[in-house]
C-alpha cells in the first residue's frame, strides 16, 4: 500500500513538472562608458562593401542605446543534471549575409543539425573551432550554398570565424538541454518553460566574460533575473 | 676559343638565373610571412586547388593566401629549371646533388604548406614550414655562390689559421639558425619569447666578433667585408624589428584584424631574419677559401 502511494506520488510529480514550469526573464545591464564602436572596413572585398549603405561596426562590444548589453548568452549551467532532453530535429541556422554572421551569438543542442548558409555573392570559409570536438574549415564559394554540421559534445562556446573576412566572428553555446537564450537589442532575454528547481545560471559575453547567479524557480511561475556587466 | 667564350656566356646566364631564384625566394618568404601576419593561412580551406579552382577570386584574405601559392609555384618552376640546367651544364657532381637537394626541399616545402591548410595550422607543421623555407633560401644562396663565374673550389690542403673566420662563421650561422627555430615557435604557437631574446644577444655578440675579425684580417676581400658589414647592420635592425613585433603581438590589445604596424614588424622581422641567415651562410662559404 505504502509502495503504491509513493509510486503514485512519483508519477504525479513527474507528470506535473512540465505543467508548472516558469519562464526566466531578465536584462543585461551595462555599467560604465560604452566603448567607442570599431568600424569595419570591408573594402578588401567589394561584394561585402556594396552590401551595406550604412557603416558597419564590430559586434563584440555592442552596447545598446538603453545601456544594456547585446549578444550575451544566458543558459542553465547547473540544476538539470541527470535529466535527458530530446534532440531537436529542426536545424539551427547560421547565415552569412552582407559578410556578417547572423546570428552573431546563438545556442544549439548537442547533435541538433546546424545549417550554415551563404547568402552572399562572394566566398566565405566557415572555420568552426570547437575544442571538445573536431575543428573544421569549409569553403562556401557559391551563393545559396548550404552545409550541415553537428556538435556531439556540449561546449561553451564554439567560435566560428571566416578567414577571408577577418571581422566575421560568431559564437555558439552547445548544450545538452534547451534552456538558453541570447540578449537582444534591448538587453533582454527569456528562457521559457523552465521546470521548478534550483539552478545556476551563467551569462557569457565574448568581451566582458562570464558571471553566474543562483535562482529558484517555484511553482508560482515566472522569475526575473537581471545582471550587470561593468565596462 | 669560340666554345670557351660560349661556355663563359652560358655560365654567366646560369649565375644570373640563380640570383633570380635567390630574389624570388626572398620574395616568397615575405609573401608567406604576410600570410601569417595577416592571419590569412586558412582563407583558402582546400589544397592544392583553391576553392576547387586554379584561380579563385582574389577577395579579402584569399589574395594573400592564393598569392603566396602562386609565387611558390613560380619559385618551384625556377628551381626545377635551375636544377635541370645545372645537370645539363655538366657541373661538378656535388653541385648537381646540391641542385637536386634544393628541388627536393622546395617540393617538400609545398607539401608542408598543403598540410598546414588541410590540418588547420598545427604548430609543429607550421614551424617546420617556416624553418624549411629559410633552409631552402640558404640552398639558393649556396647555389648562386658556387655558380659565380669566379668561384674556385677550396683547396684540400688549405690550412686553417687562428685568423681564419671559418669556425666563427659556422658558429654564427648555427646561432642564427637556432634563432630561426625559436622565432618560428613564437610565431606559430604560444611559445615564450624569452629564449629568443637571450639568444639574440649571443647572435649579436658573434656577428660583432665575426665582423671585427673579417675587417682586421680579411680587409682585402671586398666582397667578404661588404657581407660582414651587411650582416652587422641587418642584425642591429633585426633587434629593433623584433622589439616592434613583440610589442604588437604580445603586449598591445587589438581589434578584429592585425593593424598595419603589426604586419610591418612581424613580416619584416621574419624576412630580414631570412636575409641575415642567408648572409651568414654566404660568409661561411666565402670563409672556406
Ligand atoms: Cu567571409
Answer yes or no: same fold for A18-83+178-231 and A86-176: yes
State the smallest CA–CA distance between residue A87 and chain B in angstroms: 30
Centre of ligand 1 from the C-alpha of residue A65, in Å: 28
Q: What is the pLDDT at residue A13?
A: 45
**The pLDDT of residue B17:** 98
pLDDT, position A18:
47
Question: Under an 8 A CB cutoff, do A44 and B256 touch?
Answer: no
CA B84/CA B74 separation, integer angstroms: 16
Which of A46, A163, A169 comes nearest B43 by C-beta? A163
pLDDT digits (tens, 9 = 90+) for B251-265: 988 888 999 999 999
Enumerate the domain spans of chain A. Answer: 18-83+178-231, 86-176
Burial of B264 (0-12, 13-18, 19+ CB in 10 A): middle
Q: How long is chain A?
A: 231
**Chain-chain contact of A58 with B59 (C-beta, under 8 angstroms):** no
Domain spanning A86-176: CATH 2.60.40.420 = yes
Residue A102 has pLDDT above 90, yes or no: yes
Which residue shows C-alpha cell 548537442? A110
- Specify whether domain A18-83+178-231 bears CATH 2.60.40.1120: yes
B120 vs B188: CA distance, rounded Å: 12
Distance from CA of B271 to the nearest CA of A (A): 23
Does B256 contact A at CB distance below 8 Å? yes
Residue with cell 607543421: B125
pLDDT tens digits, A157-195: 999 999 999 999 999 999 999 999 999 999 999 999 999
Mean pLDDT over B129-148 rounds to 97
3-class DSSP state of B148? coil
Calculate helix-pair angle for B194-217, B166-188, nearest 10 degrees. 160
CA-based nearest distance A43→chain B, Å? 8
Q: Is A60 on the interface with B (CB under 8 A)?
A: yes
Average pLDDT, chain A: 91
Chain A residues touching residue B62 (CB < 8 angstroms): 123, 164
Per-residue pLDDT, A43: 95
CA angle B193, B197, B203 (to 5 degrees): 140
B52–A164 C-beta distance less than 8 A:
no
How much is the pLDDT for B157?
45
- A164·B61 Cβ contact <8 A: yes
Amino acid at each position: 500500500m505504502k509502495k503504491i502511494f509513493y509510486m503514485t506520488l512519483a508519477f504525479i510529480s513527474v507528470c506535473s513538472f512540465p505543467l508548472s514550469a516558469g519562464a526566466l526573464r531578465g536584462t543585461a545591464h551595462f555599467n560604465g562608458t560604452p566603448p567607442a564602436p570599431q568600424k569595419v572596413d570591408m573594402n578588401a572585398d567589394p561584394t561585402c562593401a556594396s552590401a551595406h549603405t550604412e557603416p558597419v561596426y564590430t559586434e563584440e562590444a555592442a552596447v545598446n542605446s538603453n545601456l544594456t548589453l547585446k549578444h550575451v548568452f544566458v543558459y542553465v549551467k547547473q540544476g538539470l543534471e541527470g535529466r535527458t532532453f530530446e534532440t531537436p530535429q529542426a536545424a539551427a541556422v547560421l547565415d552569412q549575409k552582407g559578410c556578417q554572421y547572423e546570428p552573431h551569438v546563438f545556442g544549439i543542442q548537442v547533435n541538433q543539425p546546424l545549417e550554415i548558409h551563404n547568402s552572399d555573392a562572394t566566398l566565405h570559409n566557415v572555420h568552426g573551432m570547437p575544442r571538445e570536438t573536431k575543428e573544421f574549415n569549409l569553403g562556401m564559394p557559391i551563393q545559396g550554398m548550404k552545409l550541415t554540421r553537428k556538435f556531439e559534445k556540449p561546449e561553451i562556446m564554439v567560435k566560428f570565424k571566416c578567414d577571408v573576412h577577418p571581422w566575421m566572428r560568431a559564437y555558439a553555446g552547445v548544450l545538452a538541454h534547451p534552456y538558453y537564450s541570447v540578449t537582444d537589442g534591448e538587453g533582454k532575454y527569456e528562457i521559457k518553460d523552465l521546470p521548478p528547481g534550483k539552478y545556476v545560471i551563467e551569462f557569457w559575453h565574448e568581451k566582458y566574460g562570464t558571471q553566474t547567479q543562483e535562482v529558484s524557480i517555484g511553482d508560482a511561475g515566472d522569475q526575473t533575473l537581471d545582471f550587470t556587466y561593468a565596462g | 676559343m669560340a666554345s670557351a667564350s660560349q661556355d663563359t656566356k652560358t655560365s654567366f646566364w646560369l649565375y644570373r638565373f640563380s640570383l633570380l631564384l635567390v630574389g624570388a625566394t626572398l620574395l616568397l618568404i615575405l609573401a608567406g610571412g604576410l600570410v601569417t601576419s595577416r592571419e590569412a593561412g586558412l582563407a583558402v580551406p582546400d589544397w592544392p586547388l583553391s576553392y576547387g579552382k586554379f584561380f579563385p577570386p582574389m577577395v579579402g584574405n584569399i589574395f594573400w593566401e592564393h598569392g603566396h601559392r602562386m609565387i611558390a609555384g613560380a619559385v618551384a618552376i625556377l628551381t626545377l629549371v635551375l636544377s635541370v640546367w645545372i645537370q645539363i651544364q655538366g657541373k661538378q657532381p656535388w653541385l648537381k646533388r646540391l641542385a637536386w637537394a634544393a628541388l627536393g626541399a622546395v617540393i617538400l616545402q609545398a607539401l608542408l604548406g598543403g598540410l598546414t591548410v588541410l590540418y588547420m595550422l598545427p604548430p609543429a607543421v607550421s614551424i617546420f614550414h617556416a624553418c624549411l623555407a629559410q633552409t631552402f633560401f640558404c640552398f639558393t644562396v649556396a647555389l648562386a655562390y658556387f655558380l659565380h663565374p669566379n668561384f674556385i673550389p677550396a683547396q684540400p690542403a688549405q690550412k686553417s689559421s687562428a685568423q681564419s673566420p671559418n669556425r666563427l662563421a659556422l658558429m654564427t650561422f648555427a646561432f642564427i639558425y637556432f634563432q630561426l627555430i625559436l622565432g618560428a615557435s613564437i610565431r606559430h604557437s604560444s611559445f615564450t619569447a624569452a629564449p629568443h631574446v637571450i639568444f639574440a644577444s649571443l647572435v649579436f655578440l658573434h656577428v660583432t666578433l665575426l665582423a671585427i675579425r673579417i675587417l682586421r684580417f680579411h680587409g682585402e676581400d671586398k666582397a667578404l667585408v661588404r657581407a660582414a658589414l651587411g650582416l652587422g647592420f641587418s642584425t642591429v635592425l633585426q633587434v629593433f624589428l623584433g622589439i616592434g613585433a613583440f610589442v604588437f603581438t604580445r603586449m598591445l590589445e587589438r581589434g578584429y584584424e592585425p593593424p598595419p604596424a603589426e604586419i610591418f614588424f612581424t613580416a619584416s622581422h621574419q624576412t630580414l631574419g631570412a636575409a641575415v641567415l642567408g648572409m651568414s651562410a654566404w660568409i661561411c662559404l666565402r670563409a672556406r677559401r
